[in-house]
Amino acid sequence: MTKIKATNVILHAFDWPYNRVTQYAKDIAKAGYKAVLVSPPLKSYKHEDGTEWWQRYQPQDYRVIDNQLGNTDDFRKMTAILDAHDVHVYVDVVFNHMANESKIRHDLNYPSKQVLDEYHQSAARYETLKLFGDITKPLFTERDFIKAFPIKNWADPWEVQHGRISGGNEDPGLPTLKCNQNVIKQQKCYINSLKQLGIKGFRIDAAKHLTLEHIQLVWDKHISADVHIFGEIITDGGATKEEYELFLAPYLKGTSLGAYDFPLFHAMYNVFEKGQPLAELDNPYSVGQALAYDRAITFAITHDIPNNDVFLDQVMTEHNELFAYCYILGRDGGVPLIYSDLDTSNITNSNGSPRWKDCWNEPVLTKMIAFHNLMQGQPMAVLSKGEDHLIFCRADEGVVAINRGAEPLNIVLPAGQFSVLVDTGSNIASCSQTAGSYRLEASSCAMLVKSTLLE
């Protein structure tokens, strides 16, 4: 098969050590990914016995990369190897808060005196790991933090954007940063230092908790130039839903940045898991159930869903998750994000293996990515829709069909010879050719492309 040019699919290598990303760089490129999103590259708590994934989301310092996943040297090596394979690096940035270290100290200097002493004692080493700034002094002090109070009313934007994220009444929570001159300055210096390392994309963690002013001040035109930026604003659905109207709508109106397409995720979940008609996925944007094509980060699962008890009921079955990937990789619009972890959730697949560890490179998924890459920019038109099926074409170059029903489905193809890239319900050989029509078995999905595209 001809080499297919990667377009925009992102591999979310969640909590992967930087050296592991380096190790798999060639395979990542071969699988059709254009970018890899890695966990926050900063200083956070680490231990020789390992630490929980959420420690990566509790910053101690922006100026040094030194955490459980690796250090600045590992990170630089990873970016260089990925660049050699023409794969971009995206990073997660945590700007709402700093680490909860209340069990070991009572001040709000970041990093702590203990960390600053560590910098001093190994000055030569940390100077090579430094991204920017003067690491003999704190990055932030008490005057950079909002006075502590826990978030109790999650439907109050002011409270959500000023209170502390905490685990309950006994948990002092994560110290919330102010939107002041020093905080904005340091966060912009951090972004610029990462851009100098070649970083091409940024995921804004916990964007719901940042004020619109804070986001606008950090992500100005200069900072945002030549990079892809998107925010994580978790909602329970699309337009008219309370969380959408309170948090996502103002962000979309007040910025030009991208966002996780939670409206589309919930639309897919309602169809595939709750049995609503597949016809509802005909054009979800037209009814406020999907974001605009040029701002959406589309997904079938995010790291929050399997790793937080409150979202666990949103994990789809393996079968339905594959349907969701077929839909988001088949449709026109959005930047697909494919999730992979190293078993942080302890959820296994039907074979008893960690469910999302190797899924990123499974043949069916990589062929779906190939379809997405081949069809980039081709207009989409629905050919047939119903309670249990959805068939659409991409110009006359490709066809996507999802059949949730209990009976086979006959697909009338556009004129010409087509090759079968994906068929989850058949043992038919990949790239076998057909013309005129195609039979899709019950409870399966398929992707076909014009045979000439593979020559």
Considering the candidates 66, 101, 144, 205, report the single residue annotated as catalytic.
205
In this structure, are residues 96 and 136 in contact, taking their beta carbons and an 8 Å threshold? no
Q: Catalytic site residue 232?
A: yes
Cis omega (within 30 of 0) on the bond before 111?
Answer: yes
In this structure, are residues 69 and 42 in contact, taking their beta carbons and an 8 Å threshold? no
Considering the candidates 232, 321, 341, 423, report the single residue annotated as catalytic.
232
Of 283, 364, 281, residue with least CA distance to 318:
364
Rg (CA), the chain: 23
Which long-range contacts (C-beta less than 8 Å, at least 24 apart) are formed by 115-122? 115/43, 115/60, 115/61, 119/64
Helix (H) or strand (E) holding 13: strand 10-13
Residue type, 391: I
Separation CA 248–CA 233 (nearest Å): 6
Residue 283 makes CB contacts below 8 A (sequence gap 6+) with: 382
Separation CA 305–CA 326 (nearest Å): 19
Q: Catalytic site residue 205?
A: yes
Whole-number Cα distances in Å, 310 to 202, 251, 306, 314: 25, 24, 9, 9
Separation CA 11–CA 362 (nearest Å): 13
Q: Phi first, then psi: what are they for 15, rounded to 5°?
A: 60, 25
* Residue-wise DSSP of 304-317: HHHHSGGGGGGPPP
**Residue 1 CA from chain centroid, whole number:** 29
Which residues have a catalytic role annotated?
Answer: 205, 232
